[in-house]
Amino acid sequence: MINIVGLNKTKLNGFTKTEEFRNFEFAPISELRQQSHIHNPRAQDDDILLFLVYDNQQLAGYLGILPDDVFIKTGERIHFGWLSTLFVSEKHRGKQIAQQLLYAAEKSYNQNLLITEFTPSAERLYRKIGLFEDLTSKNAVRYYYKSNLAELLPSKRSLFDKNKDWLKRFDRLINFFIPYRSKGIDNLYKITTSIDTNLSDFINHQHKNPIARNAEDFQWMLHYPWISTEKEQPDYLFSSYSKDYKMFWVSVYEHQKIVSAMLCSLRNGHLKVLYYFGNTEKVSGILPKVIRKYKIKMMTIYDDHLNMVISKNTTPKPIYKRPLKRNYLIHKAFKEKLGKDFNFSFTDGDGDFSFT
């Protein structure tokens, strides 16, 4: 018998410490994700944050949702959920359990669902059930400043895992001869892991996309990350650990006032610009200093305008770059509800991308 249980903030609080959780064959959520979901300022008290599905009283799978809000032209706020995690145990497959989880999410969020960063197998499922359709994809550029074969090759083929130590040695050797080839602008800049009054005021007065993140949202992201630098969540399929991970703001000043700011994440030498506000040229110009400071190996940016400015200024200067694409799926009824003229101008960090 299939049974689906939904956990809201109250039920999720302390869930990873329970005996039931410890007895699961696999973890349906990590401790850090649990705390982050509970403290999400956009999560309402009755929002289901995690669906658990049981097959004859045995945990068979789960679906995680990240609640969010979007604002339409009239100023109306529409509550919705990003599908964040979806997993069904192999021994319970063939019973349409994944479909039942999706139908439960659809009902709980009144069809207001969005998806991004999905695997090919998950995409086949989303298309098969016929609830979702494509949105305009986002183009990205990945810039390479150093050799990073020890991270790149094992992610492509598992056979490289056995040679990871040798790849690291090769990276260190070749990177000794690869300099960072740009100094950037001379503006004063400050790196912080919290938001002070000046940065908060600057952020809250900037033009924003329909998700319209504010200083409170960004404080939540900084204080409740999903990635641990101390320990990995046992038996958890999704990302939960990295030896080298941090999230920080870079504020650029001119005449003692902030003229631009960007929220960045850094994981194993990979820099991502999740959000930026203000003068794009200043953001582009200060990136070489950030790249030098943290010895960045590669950087990914999903923003056409910022990538254009970087390309035009040739700052920072990569040794190689390649294009990427991120696809989005939206529930058909949700898209209709938002209207034909709605501008889906998502930022790099929208969805759960800021946390992974």
pLDDT (mean) for 266-281: 95
pLDDT band at 146 (very low <50, low <70, confident <90, very high): confident
Q: How far apart are CA 62 and CA 86, in angstroms?
A: 6
The third-level CATH classification (topology) of the domain covering 2-137+328-355 is Aminopeptidase (3.40.630)
Split at pLDDT 50, 70, 90, the class of 159 is low
* % of the chain exceeding 70 in pLDDT: 91
Instruction: Please tell me the predicted confidence (pLDDT) of residue 160.
Output: 67
Dump pLDDT digits (tens) for 263-272: 999 999 999 9
- CATH number assigned to the domain covering 140-145+180-325: 3.40.630
For the chain, the 3-state helix, strand and coil shares in percent, each to the nearest 5, are 35, 30, 35
User: Higher-confidence residue: 20 or 94?
Assistant: 20
Q: Where are the domains of the chain?
A: 2-137+328-355, 140-145+180-325
CA distance 295 to 180: 9
Band of pLDDT at residue 314, cut at 50, 70 and 90: low
Judge whether 2-137+328-355 and 140-145+180-325 match in fold: yes
Q: Is the pLDDT of residue 177 over 70?
A: no
CA angle in degrees (0–180, nearest 5) for 116-119-123: 75
Distance CA 178, CA 156 (A): 24
Residues 57, 62, 66, 67, CA torsion sign: negative
Which pLDDT score, from 0 to 100, does residue 180 have? 59
